[in-house]
């Protein structure tokens, strides 16, 4: 399915129903009192978190949501029915902004969590509600209030436990396919991965999600390659795994490039737990060990060497 992580949608709540002006008319009751019912409230629009959604793609096609209006009040004290609410399913990790003012409205992080984004209009009161001891036959009523209407900008920042970052071709997607049952596209050219891939690392008690990111190159923060915009998808992860191709000229410099680029995107990310994975050890006759500031692993995502140790370590981290 197409990966969409930003959309604009329009939401419109229902208007409230109007209050009614009516008087009781019955045989043998000469002057019946007021009996105009109240209008029903308009339906509201909510966003609701759905764990089975991974992107905002559905909302790109269906981008207008309108809730039902409230029924008008009727005679014989009958109040109008409330309009039905509308629930718009969104993936977990959706940030919600007003598209016109950029005001942050909230975020959806948990399954079935809801967020009110357009409040339904209140129904108007009927004339019965206006009767007093001095005015027993009021000829007034209220109109229903309009429902709220706004354009929303939805931005997805994935909720994953682990994020894989690295230069293009370092073997991130291959590593994802080793750690999880995901089948991302793998190829020997840079920028094979254009949008994040998700996989699930199964553990005895818990499952963890791993997100494989597109490649980062030096200067990405100033727009080179695919830029860094997709890094918002590792802002919510607990652990960052740097994947480095150890067969390259200067693997430590590659690590520095990654850290520098991430820092210029959002240095808060560097407060997370970080792990270095030197990949492609099968290409070397003798594996040289490097000193880094983080727990470090030497693996071959191709042959599977060193993968089980890495897996166990990641599980204990989480």
Ligand X SMILES: Nc1nc2c(ncn2[C@@H]2O[C@H](COP(=O)(O)OP(=O)(O)OP(=O)(O)O)[C@@H](O)[C@H]2O)c(=O)[nH]1
Minimal distance in Å, beta carbon 171 to Mg ion?
8
- For Mg ion, the closer of residues 113 and 192 by Cβ is 192
Per CB under 6 A, which region of 37-45, 46-54, 162-170, 269-277 contacts ligand X? 162-170
Residue 170 found at the interface with ligand X (CB under 6 A): yes
CB of 301 to ligand X, least distance (A): 4
Among residues 42, 25, 16, 34, the alpha carbon closest in space to that of 140 is found at 34
Stretch that binds ligand X, among 31-39, 98-106, 120-128, 161-169 (CB under 6 A): 161-169
Residue 93 CB, shortest distance to ligand X, in Å, is: 21
CB of 126 or CB of 171, closer to ligand X: 171
192 lines the binding site for Mg ion (CB under 5 A): yes
The closest of 257, 284, 232, 166 to 174, measured between CA atoms, is 166
Smallest gap, in angstroms, from Cβ of residue 187 to ligand X?
Answer: 5
Minimum distance of ligand X from residue 176's CB (angstroms): 8
177: its two tokens: 């396919």
- Among residues 41, 68, 82, 279, the one that binds ligand X under rule CB under 6 A: 279
The listed partner (Mg ion, ligand X, none) that binds 197, CB under 5 to 8 Å by sort, is none
The mark string for 203-232 relative to ligand X (x by CB under 6 A, - otherwise) is -----------xx-----------------
Report the nearest approach of ligand X to the CB of residue 189 (Å). 7
Q: Which does 116 bind (CB under 5 to 8 A by kind): Mg ion, ligand X, none?
A: none
Q: Using the minimum distance from each CB to ligand X, give the nearer residue, 193 or 237.
A: 193
Backbone angles phi, psi at 312, to 5 degrees: -60, -40
Nearest alpha-carbon partner for 201 in 162, 240, 232:
162
193 binds Mg ion (CB under 5 A): yes
Contacts with ligand X by CB under 6 A lie at: 166, 168-174, 186-188, 190-193, 214-215, 279-280, 282-283, 300-302
Contacts with Mg ion by CB under 5 A lie at: 172-173, 192-193
């Amino acid at each position: 399915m197409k990966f969409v992580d930003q959309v604009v949608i329009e939401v419109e709540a229902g208007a409230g129903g109007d209050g009614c002006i009516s008087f009781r008319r019955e045989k043998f009751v000469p002057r019946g009192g007021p009996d105009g019912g109240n209008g029903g409230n308009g339906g509201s629009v909510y966003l609701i978190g759905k764990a089975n959604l991974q992107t905002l793609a559905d909302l790109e096609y269906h981008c207008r949501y309108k809730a039902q209006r409230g029924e008008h009040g009727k005679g014989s004290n009958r109040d109008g029915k409330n309009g039905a609410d509308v629930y718009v399913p969104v993936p977990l990790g959706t940030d919600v902004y007003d598209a016109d003012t950029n005001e942050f409205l909230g975020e959806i992080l948990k399954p079935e969590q809801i967020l009110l984004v357009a409040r339904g209009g209140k129904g108007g009161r009927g004339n019965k509600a206006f009767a007093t001891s001095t005015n027993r036959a009021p000829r007034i009523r209220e109109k229903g209030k309009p429902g709220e209407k706004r354009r929303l900008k939805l931005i997805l920042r994935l909720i994953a436990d682990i994020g894989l970052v690295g230069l293009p071709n370092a073997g991130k997607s291959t590593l994802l396919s080793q750690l999880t049952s995901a089948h991302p596209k793998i190829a020997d050219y840079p920028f094979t991965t254009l949008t994040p891939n998700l996989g699930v690392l199964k553990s005895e008690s818990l499952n963890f999600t791993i997100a494989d990111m597109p490649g980062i190159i030096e200067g990405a923060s100033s727009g080179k390659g695919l830029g860094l915009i997709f890094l918002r998808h590792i802002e919510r992860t607990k652990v960052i795994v740097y994947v480095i191709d150890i067969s390259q000229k200067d693997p430590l410099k590659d690590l520095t490039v990654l850290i520098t680029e991430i820092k210029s995107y959002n240095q808060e990310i560097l407060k997370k737990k970080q792990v270095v994975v030197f990949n492609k050890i099968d290409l070397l006759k003798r594996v040289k060990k490097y000193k880094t500031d983080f727990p470090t692993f030497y693996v071959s995502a191709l042959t599977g060497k060193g993968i089980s140790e890495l897996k166990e370590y990641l599980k204990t981290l989480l």
